[in-house]
Every structure is written in C-alpha cells, then in structure tokens.
Amino acid sequence: MQSADKALAILGAFDEGRRDVGVSELAGELGLHKSTVSRLLATLERRGLVRREGERFALGPELARLGALASRGLTLAGAARPSLERLAERTGETVNLAVRDGERALNVLQVDAAHFVGVTDWTGRAAALHATANGKALLAFGDAPLPGRLARLTPRTITDRGRLRAELERVRSAGFAVTVEELELGLHAVAAPVFDALGSCVAAVSVSGPAYRLEEARLPAVGELCVAAAADVSARLGFRRAA
C-alpha cells in the first residue's frame, strides 16, 4: 500500500459505531507495523484530520470543515446548475460556481462554453480571492476579513489593501465583480454573489473567457447576466431580498 492509501485506510476505519481507535488495533486490522500506523497518525494529527484522546485517536476538526464544504458544494451545485447552464448558453463562455475556502475561492461546479479556446476545467481547483472575480464577489458581500497576503500574479493584480478595499466598494455598488488579466494574462471574468435563506453570501457565479472574446467593453453587460443568474440561484436557496 502507498502512504496515501494507508492514511485513507486509517480514516476509513472510523464509523458511526467506532468513534476512536488505538494504534495496536489499527495495525492488526490493516496488516501494518505499529510504527507505520503511529507515523501516519502523527501526520494526520498535524493536518487536523485526527486528534489524540489519550492513547486513542478520533476524527479531527479538519475533516468536519472539509465535510461541511463538500456538503455545501453539493447542495449549491444542485440548486445552481440550471441557472449556470442558461448563463453559459447566453454568454457563450465558461461559467463557474465558487465558495470561499479560507483565503481562496474554490470552484465547485463548472459549465463549459461551446468554444475550445479558453476552456479549462476549474472544478475542485482554488485561486486567490483578491485576483479572481468570484473571489472579489465573495469578499465584497461576505463578512470574512481580507486575505492576509495579496500575492502579485500578473502586473494587473491588486496587491495594495487600500486599493482592494476601494475595489470591493465598487463591486458592492455595481452588484458584480470584474477582473481584467488579474489572475492570468489574457483572461477576463465577471462574477456576482449568491445568498442563502439567511442572507449570507455563500457562493459566487462567474463568467470567464479569453480577453479577445470577452472584451472589457462587454464585461458590464455580462455582469448583469451574472447578477440575474446568481439571483435565480439565491431564490432556490430560499433568499428573499428585502422590499
């Protein structure tokens, strides 16, 4: 067994009727040496995937975070797919749904355009909040703090915190976010926020494409289409805008 397989086998040993395990019993069940199991458990503990309780181990808080994120992504994906498919058809560009994962925007659903150029599968991939349209929408309409570090990814990436705050004010005023070659040269994108029944920003819907096709002059109109699509998704999640 490779190390990753062994670690997953350890995590798989937990179930509803078995909330904690010991090194010796895991070693016996998995056919591994106790020192190997101890080393793997130590690695999992450092990652927050398990926690030590005396001489035994239980599942850790990082698994709870990942599980909640996965569950939220699946629920959002089901609610969002019809709207994202219509948005991709109307714009002819790639559409993504993203949620916040720490200081990154994690893409949980993608609907591809008919074009071959500019189509990259971002599902399951994450990118910096400050350099993506989805990320800016999540920052502008969410209640979490700004990222700690604003890395420069292209010459157009916003790396000054004052400039980023001003940009997020513009996002809130317009209702959608725009990035022009800030994540990658030649890539433009727009995004709008998705709200749940409690009025919290839980995701963002984006349209992205190559600069020669998704031109800057076209971004405001596409942004309004994003706003409409995101509003449809929000309504499916139970959000009702105050009159």
pLDDT digits over 118-144, tens only?
A: 556 767 788 999 999 999 999 999 988
What percent of the chain clears pLDDT 90, i.e. is strictly above it? Answer: 54
CATH number of the domain encompassing residue 26: 1.10.10.10
Q: What's the mean per-residue pLDDT of the chain?
A: 89
Give per-residue pLDDT as tens, 151-196: 999 999 999 999 999 999 999 999 999 999 999 999 999 999 999 8
Average pLDDT over residues 217-238: 95
Q: Which amino acid is at 82?
A: P
pLDDT of amino acid 5 = 85
Residue range 69-101, pLDDT digits in tens: 765 665 788 889 999 999 999 999 999 999 999
Question: Which pLDDT does position 13 carry in this prediction?
Answer: 86
End-to-end CA distance of the chain: 59
> What's the Cα-to-Cα distance from 94 to each of 29, 42, 190, 195, 204, rounded to whole Å?
47, 42, 11, 21, 14
Domain boundary pick from 59, 86, 106? 59
3-class secondary structure, 144: coil
> Domain span at residue 11?
3-59
| Amino acid code (one letter) for 11 | L
Backbone angles phi, psi at 93, to 5 degrees: -125, 170
Residue 242: inside a domain, yes or no?
no
| Pair (83, 174) in one structural domain | yes
Cα 141 from Cα 175, distance rounded (Å):
9
CB 126 within 8 A of CB 106: yes
pLDDT of res. 155? 97
CATH number at residue 114: 3.30.450.40
Residue 29: pLDDT band with limits 50, 70, 90: confident
Residues 13 and 116 in one domain: no
- With respect to residue 241, please indicate whether it lies within any of the assigned structural domains: no
Residues 203 and 181 in one domain: yes
For residue 186, the SS3 value is: coil
Query: What mean pLDDT do residues 217-224 have?
Result: 96
Between helices 34-46 and 3-12, what is the axis angle to 10°?
Answer: 80
Q: What is the total count of domains within the chain?
A: 2
- Cβ atoms 44, 7 nearer than 8 A: yes
Is 20 in the same domain as 99?
no
Is 243 a domain residue?
no
The answer to whether 150 and 132 are in contact (CB under 8 A) is no
Q: Strand (E) positions, 125-200?
A: 126-128, 177-180, 187-195
Predicted pLDDT at 18: 82
| Residue-level pLDDT at 166 | 97
Single residue among 11, 39, 59 that ends a domain in this structure:
59
Q: Are 100 and 138 in a shared domain? A: yes
State yes or no: pLDDT of 54 exceeds 80.
Answer: yes
Query: Does residue 29 fall inside a structural domain?
Result: yes
176 close to 226: Cβ distance less than 8 angstroms: yes
Q: What is the pTM of this model?
A: 0.70
End residue of a domain, out of 37, 59, 81? 59
Same domain membership, residue 196 and residue 175: yes
Copy the structure tokens of residue 150: 């604003």
